[in-house]
Structure 1
Amino acid sequence: MTSESAPSSRSRYVLFDVDGTLMDAVSNQRQVWRVWAKRYGLDADEVYQVALRTRPVETFARVCPDRDPHECLAALHELEDDDVRSGVYAAFDGASELLHGLPSASWALVTSNYEHRVRGRFQRTGLPMPGVIVDAAAVEEGKPSPVPYLRAAARLGAEPGDCLVIEDAPSGVQSGLRAGMTVWGVNAAVAVEGVHRHFESLRAAVPHILAFASGLQAHRR
Structure 2
Amino acid sequence: MDLSDIGAVLFDMDGTLVDSDAAVERAWERWASEYAVEPAAALSIAHGRPADQTIRRLLPALDDAAVAVAAARQLALQYDDLSDVTATPGALELLSTLARLGMPWAVVTSADVRLAEARLGAAGIAPQVLVTVEDVDEGKPAPDGYLRAAALLDVPPGRCLVVEDAEVGLQAGRAAGAMTAALKGLDGDLRLVDLTQLTYGLSGSATAR
For normalisation by structure 2, the TM-score amounts to: 0.84
Q: How many residue pairs align between the two structures?
A: 204
Of 39-48 and 71-80, deviating more is 39-48
CA gap 1:119/1:160 in 2 versus in 1, 3 angstroms: same
Alignment match, 1:33 = 28
Matches for 1:50-61 after TM superposition, within 5 Å? 50-52=45-47, 55-61=50-56
Q: Over alpha carbons, which structure has the higher Rg?
A: 1
Alignment match, 1:123 = 121
| Sequence identity percentage | 33
CA distance in 2, matches of 1:164, 1:64: 34
CA contact (8 A) 2:50 2:140 kept: no
Alignment match, 2:42 = 47
CA gap 1:105/1:131 in 2 versus in 1, 3 angstroms: farther
Displacement, 1:89? 0.7
Tell me which of 51, 69, 79 is aligned to 1:71. 69
CA gap 1:16/1:209 in 2 versus in 1, 3 angstroms: farther
Displacement, 1:43? 2.9
Tell me which of 174, 178, 184 is aligned to 1:177. 174
Poorly superposed stretches of 4+, deviation over 6 Å: none
Alignment match, 2:92 = 96
Deviations 1:160-193 (A, max 9, x none): 222111112112112112222221112x1x332x
Alignment match, 1:202 = 195
- For residue 10 of structure 2, give the secondary structure of its aligned residue in structure 1: strand
Alignment match, 2:142 = 145
Alignment match, 2:152 = 155
CA distance in 2, matches of 1:56, 1:35: 14
CA distance in 2, matches of 1:53, 1:99: 21
Alignment match, 2:11 = 16
CA gap 1:53/1:146 in 2 versus in 1, 3 angstroms: closer
CA contact (8 A) 1:166 1:184 kept: yes
CA distance in 2, matches of 1:48, 1:100: 33
CA distance in 2, matches of 1:25, 1:150: 25
CA contact (8 A) 2:14 2:48 kept: no
Root mean square deviation, CA, Å: 2.6
CA distance in 2, matches of 1:62, 1:119: 27
Structure 1: unaligned runs, 5 residues or longer: none
Deviations 1:118-163 (A, max 9, x none): 2211222222x12211110000011222221111011111112221
